[in-house]
C-alpha cells in the first residue's frame, strides 16, 4: 500500500470504523437476494441496566407477612431505611392468583410497567441470576470443599456483566449468547440487509458471534464519514475514497490486514447509507415522537429501534436482536432519592416502546427483556445497597404471557434460606433458562439451545413459558 493511500484511509477511519462491524465476508452480495428460511419477522430487545439495579424495590410484596420481612430487611423504621411504604406501592393482581396467595406491587414510579402487567403484556421473573446448576445455601457454603460449581467472581461488576452477556460460566468464550443465536440462524438470515445483531449502546460482548458480526451504531442513527456530501467537492471526495478502498480491498499485493481494513471502510459507508436512509423515511411514532417531546436517552434509543423495525422490509430483515442500555444503577449512595427517577425512566420507556410497536402492528413480533449486573443486598449500607446476586427482571411484548411471575419470589428475610450473607439472595431461576426461553421463541431449535445457553442441560425446566 503506497503512502498516500495509507494516509487517506487512516484519516477516513475516524468517520466510521467503529460502526463498521456489520457483516461477515461474502454476505454483501447476499443482501440483494432477500431473506431465506424464515417466513416471519421477530425481534428481541435487550435492555441492560448498568450498575446493578436494586430490583427488590422494583416489585415488592404487599401481603402482611411478606411485606414485614421486606421492611425489616431493608431497615424499615430507621434513618437508613430503603423500604418503600406499603401504601405507596402500585398493587397488581397476578393471573391465576388465589385467595391467601402473597400479593405484590410495583414501585410507585412505575405506572407504565404496572399497566402493561395488568394488561397481560409484561411478566416478572422474581429471582433470577447467573447459575451453572441449581444451588442451595448449603451448596454455596460448602462449594470450595465439595466442588459445587458456582459462577466465578460473584458480586463483581465486570465479571457478572460478562456472565449475563455470555453465559460462559467458568469457561472462556469469545462469543455472547446473542451472538451465538445469530450464529445458529446464520444460514437462514445471511440474506438480510443488515446484521442480525444491532447495538445502539456501543460494542458489547452480548452480541459478539463466532461467525456473525454485530453492527454498532449511534442512538439516533449510523455515524457518517465527515466531508462526504452528495454534490460538489464532497461527492468527489467520496468517489475518490471509494475508488481507493475498492482497489485496496482487492489488491493481492496488499496484506490481509490492509484488505480487511479497506473492506471495513467499504461497509461503514455502505451501511451508514442504508441505515440512515431507512431511518429517514421511517414511521414517525406518536408514542416516541421525533419532535414536540423531550425523550430520555433510553427512549431515544428505543425510538431508533422502533424505526428500524418499521423499516424491516426495506432492509430485508426477518430476525433482529437489538441492544440498548441505561446507566446509573450502582446505587451505593442516594438510593432513596435517585431510584424513583431511574425506575420511572425504565417503566415509561418500556411502555412507550410497546405503544409505538402497537402503532405499526408489530407488538406481537417484538419482545423486550431486561438484564442487569446483579441484584443488590437487602440490607442498607446507610444510604444505598451493595452488590449481590439474584434479582428481578422484566419481559414485555405482545407475545408475552404477562400478568404472571415466572419463578418464586423469595422471602426477603435476613439469614433466610436463600441469604448467603448481608442479604445476598441465591437465584432460583438461571440466566441460561431465561436466554433459552427467548431463543426458542426467536427460532432457535431445541437441539441448538445448549449452543446458546451452555448450562441449560443442568436445569429441569428449559423453557420458562413466558412467551407464546
Question: Cα 266 to the chain's mean position, in Å?
Answer: 28
Question: Cα 368 to the chain's mean position, in Å?
Answer: 8
Is the pLDDT confidence value at 16 over 70?
no
**435517585: which residue's cell?**
338
The pLDDT tens digits of the residues spanning 193-243 come to 999 999 999 999 999 999 999 999 999 999 887 788 888 888 888 788 888
Q: What is the mean pLDDT of the chain?
A: 91
Backbone angles phi, psi at 59, to 5 degrees: -130, 120
Dist. CA 466–CA 468, nearest whole Å? 7
Question: Which H/E stretch holds residue 108?
Answer: none
What is the SS3 assignment for 459? Answer: coil
The pLDDT tens digits of the residues spanning 274-317 come to 999 999 999 999 999 999 999 999 999 999 999 999 999 999 99
Dist. CA 200–CA 196, nearest whole Å? 13
The band of 108, judged by pLDDT with boundaries at 50, 70 and 90, is: very high
Is the pLDDT confidence value at 34 over 70?
no
Dist. CA 220–CA 272, nearest whole Å? 12
**Within a 13 Å sphere around the CA of 448, how many CA atoms are in the beta-carbon half?**
16
Is the pLDDT confidence value at 453 over 70?
yes
Cα torsion 468, 61, 115, 364 to 10°: value is -10
Query: What's the pLDDT score for residue 239?
Result: 83
Query: What's the pLDDT score for residue 36?
Result: 53
Query: What's the pLDDT score for residue 223?
Result: 86
Question: Rounded to two decimals, what is the model's pTM?
Answer: 0.90
Go through the domains of the chain in sequence order and give each one's CATH number.
42-224+284-458 (3.40.720)
Query: What's the pLDDT score for residue 1?
Result: 44
| Range in 12-16, 406-410, 441-445 the model is least confident about | 12-16
Mean pLDDT score, 162-166: 98
Is the pLDDT confidence value at 110 over 90?
yes
Query: What's the pLDDT score for residue 101?
Result: 97
The pLDDT tens digits of the residues spanning 115-136 come to 999 999 999 999 999 999 999 9
What is the SS3 assignment for 50? Answer: coil
What is the SS3 assignment for 61? Answer: strand
Dist. CA 288–CA 220, nearest whole Å? 12
Question: Which H/E stretch holds residue 142?
Answer: none
Percent of the chain with pLDDT over 90: 81
The band of 455, judged by pLDDT with boundaries at 50, 70 and 90, is: very high
Query: What's the pLDDT score for residue 4?
Result: 42
Query: What's the pLDDT score for residue 238?
Result: 74
Is the pLDDT confidence value at 179 over 60?
yes
Query: What's the pLDDT score for residue 29?
Result: 31
Is the pLDDT confidence value at 438 over 70?
yes
Dist. CA 430–CA 87, nearest whole Å? 32
Q: In 3D, which of 383, 384, 299, 389 has the Cα closest to residue 112? A: 299
Q: Which of residues 249 and 173 earns the better pLDDT score?
A: 173
What radius of gyration do the chain's Cα atoms show?
Answer: 24
Amino acid at each position: 500500500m503506497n503512502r498516500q493511500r495509507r494516509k487517506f484511509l487512516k484519516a477516513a477511519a475516524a468517520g466510521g470504523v467503529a460502526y463498521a462491524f456489520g457483516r461477515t465476508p461474502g454476505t454483501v452480495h447476499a443482501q440483494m437476494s432477500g431473506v431465506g428460511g424464515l417466513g416471519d419477522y421477530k425481534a428481541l430487545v435487550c435492555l441492560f441496566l448498568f450498575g446493578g439495579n436494586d430490583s427488590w424495590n422494583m416489585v415488592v410484596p404487599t401481603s402482611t407477612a411478606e411485606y414485614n420481612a421486606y421492611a425489616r430487611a431493608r431497615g424499615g423504621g430507621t434513618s437508613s431505611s430503603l423500604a418503600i411504604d406499603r401504601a405507596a406501592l402500585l398493587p397488581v393482581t397476578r393471573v391465576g392468583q388465589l385467595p391467601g396467595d402473597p400479593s405484590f406491587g410495583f414501585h410507585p414510579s412505575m405506572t407504565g410497567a404496572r399497566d402493561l402487567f395488568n394488561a397481560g403484556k409484561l411478566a416478572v421473573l422474581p429471582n433470577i441470576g447467573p447459575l451453572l446448576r441449581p444451588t442451595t445455601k448449603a451448596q454455596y457454603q460448602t462449594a470450595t470443599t465439595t466442588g459445587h460449581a458456582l459462577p466465578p467472581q460473584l458480586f463483581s461488576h465486570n465479571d457478572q456483566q460478562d456472565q449475563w452477556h455470555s453465559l460462559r460460566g467458568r469457561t472462556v468464550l469469545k462469543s455472547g449468547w446473542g451472538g451465538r443465536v445469530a450464529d445458529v440462524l446464520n444460514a437462514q438470515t445471511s440474506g438480510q440487509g443488515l446484521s442480525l445483531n444491532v447495538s445502539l449502546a456501543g460494542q458489547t460482548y452480548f452480541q459478539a458471534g463466532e461467525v456473525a458480526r454485530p453492527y454498532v451504531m449511534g442512538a439516533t442513527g449510523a455515524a457518517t464519514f465527515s466531508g462526504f456530501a452528495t454534490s460538489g467537492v464532497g461527492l468527489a471526495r467520496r468517489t475518490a475514497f471509494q475508488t481507493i478502498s475498492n482497489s485496496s480491498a482487492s489488491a493481492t499485493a496488499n496484506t490481509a490486514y490492509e484488505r480487511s481494513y479497506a473492506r471495513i471502510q467499504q461497509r461503514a459507508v455502505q451501511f451508514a447509507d442504508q441505515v440512515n436512509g431507512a431511518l429517514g423515511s421511517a414511521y414517525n411514532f406518536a408514542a416516541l415522537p421525533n419532535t414536540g417531546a423531550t425523550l430520555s436517552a433510553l427512549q431515544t434509543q428505543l425510538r431508533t429501534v422502533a424505526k428500524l423495525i418499521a423499516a424491516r422490509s426495506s432492509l430485508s430483515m426477518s430476525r433482529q436482536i437489538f441492544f440498548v442500555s441505561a446507566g446509573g444503577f450502582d446505587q451505593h449512595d442516594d438510593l432513596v432519592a435517585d431510584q424513583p427517577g431511574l425506575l420511572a425512566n425504565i417503566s415509561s420507556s418500556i411502555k412507550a416502546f410497546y405503544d409505538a410497536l402497537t402503532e405499526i402492528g408489530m407488538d406481537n413480533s417484538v419482545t423486550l427483556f431486561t438484564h442487569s449486573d446483579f441484584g443488590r443486598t437487602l440490607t442498607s449500607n446507610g444510604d444505598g445497597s451493595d452488590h449481590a446476586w439474584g434479582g428481578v427482571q422484566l419481559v414485555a411484548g405482545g407475545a408475552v404471557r404477562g400478568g404472571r411471575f415466572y419463578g418464586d419470589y423469595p422471602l426477603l428475610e435476613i439469614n433466610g434460606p436463600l441469604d448467603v450473607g448481608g442479604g445476598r439472595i441465591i437465584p432460583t431461576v438461571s440466566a441460561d433458562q431465561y436466554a433459552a426461553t427467548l431463543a426458542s421463541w426467536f427460532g432457535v431449535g431445541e437441539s441448538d439451545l445448549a449452543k446458546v445457553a451452555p448450562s441449560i442441560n443442568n436445569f429441569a425446566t428449559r423453557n420458562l413459558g413466558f412467551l407464546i
